[in-house]
Amino acid sequence: MNHRLFHTLVLGSGVLLGGSGGVACMARVAEAAPGTRPPDEAVSVDSPTESPSSSIASGTDAGAPRDAASDVLTADARACESGWPTTKGMVCTSDGGPDLCCQRQDEAPVCCPRSASEGAP
Protein backbone atom coordinates (compact mmCIF):
# COMPACT_ATOMS: atom_id res chain seq x y z
CA MET A 1 0.00 0.00 0.00
CA ASN A 2 1.81 3.07 -1.24
CA HIS A 3 -0.86 5.57 -2.19
CA ARG A 4 0.93 8.88 -2.46
CA LEU A 5 -1.71 10.67 -0.39
CA PHE A 6 -1.62 8.19 2.50
CA HIS A 7 1.62 9.60 3.76
CA THR A 8 0.69 13.20 3.07
CA LEU A 9 -2.73 13.09 4.67
CA VAL A 10 -2.74 10.34 7.28
CA LEU A 11 0.81 10.26 8.54
CA GLY A 12 1.27 13.97 7.89
CA SER A 13 -1.75 14.93 9.95
CA GLY A 14 0.30 14.76 13.14
CA VAL A 15 1.69 18.21 12.41
CA LEU A 16 -1.65 19.69 13.41
CA LEU A 17 -1.64 18.24 16.90
CA GLY A 18 -0.57 20.30 19.85
CA GLY A 19 0.00 23.48 17.93
CA SER A 20 -1.82 26.47 16.62
CA GLY A 21 -2.67 24.94 13.29
CA GLY A 22 -0.27 27.21 11.46
CA VAL A 23 0.87 24.76 8.84
CA ALA A 24 -0.39 26.37 5.67
CA CYS A 25 2.87 26.06 3.81
CA MET A 26 3.59 22.53 4.93
CA ALA A 27 0.95 20.87 2.84
CA ARG A 28 2.51 19.07 -0.05
CA VAL A 29 1.32 16.44 -2.43
CA ALA A 30 3.04 13.97 -4.63
CA GLU A 31 3.24 14.84 -8.28
CA ALA A 32 2.61 12.56 -11.22
CA ALA A 33 4.61 9.41 -11.66
CA PRO A 34 8.30 10.05 -12.21
CA GLY A 35 9.15 10.77 -15.78
CA THR A 36 5.74 11.99 -16.82
CA ARG A 37 6.37 15.63 -16.11
CA PRO A 38 8.93 17.77 -14.37
CA PRO A 39 7.89 18.51 -10.79
CA ASP A 40 6.52 21.94 -10.08
CA GLU A 41 8.41 24.30 -7.91
CA ALA A 42 7.13 24.23 -4.33
CA VAL A 43 5.41 20.90 -4.81
CA SER A 44 7.34 18.05 -3.33
CA VAL A 45 6.84 14.34 -3.23
CA ASP A 46 6.27 12.55 0.01
CA SER A 47 8.42 9.48 -0.18
CA PRO A 48 6.54 6.38 0.84
CA THR A 49 9.12 5.47 3.43
CA GLU A 50 6.56 4.45 5.97
CA SER A 51 3.85 2.23 4.69
CA PRO A 52 0.92 0.87 6.62
CA SER A 53 1.18 -2.76 7.42
CA SER A 54 -0.80 -5.23 5.39
CA SER A 55 -3.37 -5.56 8.17
CA ILE A 56 -3.80 -1.80 8.24
CA ALA A 57 -3.95 -1.63 4.47
CA SER A 58 -6.74 -4.16 4.40
CA GLY A 59 -8.45 -2.67 7.44
CA THR A 60 -10.16 -5.96 8.07
CA ASP A 61 -9.50 -6.87 11.66
CA ALA A 62 -13.03 -6.46 12.86
CA GLY A 63 -15.28 -9.39 12.15
CA ALA A 64 -18.52 -8.92 10.26
CA PRO A 65 -20.79 -10.81 7.91
CA ARG A 66 -19.63 -10.83 4.30
CA ASP A 67 -22.88 -9.29 3.04
CA ALA A 68 -22.79 -6.36 5.46
CA ALA A 69 -22.02 -3.92 2.66
CA SER A 70 -25.06 -5.03 0.70
CA ASP A 71 -27.19 -4.68 3.80
CA VAL A 72 -26.00 -1.12 4.28
CA LEU A 73 -26.74 -0.24 0.68
CA THR A 74 -30.23 -1.70 0.73
CA ALA A 75 -31.48 -1.47 4.29
CA ASP A 76 -29.43 1.02 6.28
CA ALA A 77 -30.97 4.47 6.23
CA ARG A 78 -27.64 5.96 7.23
CA ALA A 79 -26.29 5.26 3.75
CA CYS A 80 -29.27 7.02 2.18
CA GLU A 81 -28.37 10.38 3.69
CA SER A 82 -26.69 12.87 1.44
CA GLY A 83 -22.96 13.31 1.74
CA TRP A 84 -21.26 16.61 2.44
CA PRO A 85 -21.45 19.13 -0.39
CA THR A 86 -18.53 18.81 -2.76
CA THR A 87 -16.59 21.69 -4.21
CA LYS A 88 -16.28 20.28 -7.67
CA GLY A 89 -18.33 19.35 -10.65
CA MET A 90 -21.36 21.58 -10.33
CA VAL A 91 -22.03 23.46 -13.53
CA CYS A 92 -23.68 26.85 -13.14
CA THR A 93 -25.15 28.58 -16.14
CA SER A 94 -27.14 31.72 -16.62
CA ASP A 95 -29.17 31.74 -19.81
CA GLY A 96 -31.59 34.55 -19.28
CA GLY A 97 -33.30 33.08 -16.25
CA PRO A 98 -32.07 32.40 -12.77
CA ASP A 99 -28.61 31.04 -12.32
CA LEU A 100 -28.84 27.30 -12.54
CA CYS A 101 -26.49 25.07 -10.68
CA CYS A 102 -26.97 21.50 -11.68
CA GLN A 103 -25.47 19.16 -9.17
CA ARG A 104 -26.78 15.94 -10.63
CA GLN A 105 -27.77 15.02 -14.12
CA ASP A 106 -30.75 12.99 -12.95
CA GLU A 107 -32.23 15.57 -10.63
CA ALA A 108 -33.80 18.95 -11.08
CA PRO A 109 -31.20 21.69 -10.94
CA VAL A 110 -30.83 23.80 -7.88
CA CYS A 111 -32.07 27.25 -8.77
CA CYS A 112 -30.35 30.15 -7.14
CA PRO A 113 -31.21 33.83 -7.14
CA ARG A 114 -29.74 35.65 -10.05
CA SER A 115 -26.60 37.33 -8.87
CA ALA A 116 -26.08 39.55 -11.89
CA SER A 117 -27.50 39.82 -15.35
CA GLU A 118 -24.17 40.69 -16.90
CA GLY A 119 -20.99 38.78 -16.82
CA ALA A 120 -22.17 35.26 -16.23
CA PRO A 121 -20.08 32.86 -18.30
Partner 1 sequence: MTQRPLPPADAEIAAMPSEQRTVLARLWWSQAATERRVAQSFAVVERALTELEADAGIVATAARAIDDEHRHAALCQAMASRYRGAEAAPAPELPFAHPHHPAARTKAVRAALYVVGQCVFNETFASAYLAACLDAATHPLARAALRELLSDEIDHARVGWAFLSSMPAHLRVDITDWLLPLGVANLREWRALTLPAPGADLERHGVPARARIEEALVSALRGVVVPGAAHAGLRSKPFAQWAENGART
Q: Which is nearer to partner 1, 20 or 49 (CB)?
A: 20
C-alpha closest to that of 48 among 35, 30, 36, 32 = 30
- Considering the rule CB under 8 A, would residue 96 count as an interface residue with partner 1? no
Can residue 112 be called a binding residue for partner 1 (CB under 8 A)? Answer: yes
Binding residue for partner 1, selected from 34, 35, 49, 84, defined by CB under 8 A = 84
Is the CB of residue 99 less than 8 Å from the CB of residue 90?
A: no
* Residue 21 interacting with partner 1 (CB under 8 A): yes
Q: How far is the CB of 39 from partner 1 (least distance, A)?
A: 11
